[in-house]
Amino acid sequence: MDPITEFQSLFDRYVAAYRSGDAAGCAALFTENAQMHSPYAPPAHGRSEIEAVHRDWTSDDVSGKEVVVLEAGMSGDLAWCLAEFREDATTDEGTSLNLLERQKDGNWLIRVCSLNEAFAPEG
């Protein structure tokens, strides 16, 4: 399977958990020692902090959440992907750059996630 397809599958599971308000399900797609950096929350270190951030993020209607993997690559048990996200047609959107690690069971989990807010062009 090519990296874009493989990581899109991971983010499809993330979106399903996010839309259903399942913060633990979102966090389960991160490694135990993962880091998440975001303009929408303080840095989160470890799965429990990532779950707490997601609990806050998924407390409202998030049924419009989308994530699309734009680019990806891998070498051995490490990989990266650039993804575009949006909450819905009118609110937060941006990109995320992710470092992923293949686990002993062959599944990929997010080790580092850096979210970046998209800015509307001035004018």
Distances in Å between the Cα of 97 and the Cα atoms of 37, 60, 68, 79, 84 are 10, 25, 12, 11, 9
In angstroms, the CA 28 to CA 31 distance is: 7
Q: What is the pLDDT of residue 122?
A: 60
Q: What is the pLDDT of residue 39?
A: 92
Per-residue three-class SS string for 7-73:
HHHHHHHHHHHHHCCCHHHHHCCEEEEEEEEECCEEEEECHHHHHHHHHHHCCCCCCCCEEEEEEEE
pLDDT in tens, the chain (123 residues): 799 999 999 999 999 999 999 999 999 999 999 999 999 999 999 999 999 999 999 998 889 999 999 999 999 999 999 999 998 766 679 999 999 999 999 999 999 999 999 876 565
Q: What is the pLDDT of residue 120?
A: 61
List, in order of start, the domains of the chain with CATH numbers: 3-116 (3.10.450.50)
Q: What is the pLDDT of residue 123?
A: 54
On whether the pTM is more than 0.95, the answer is: no
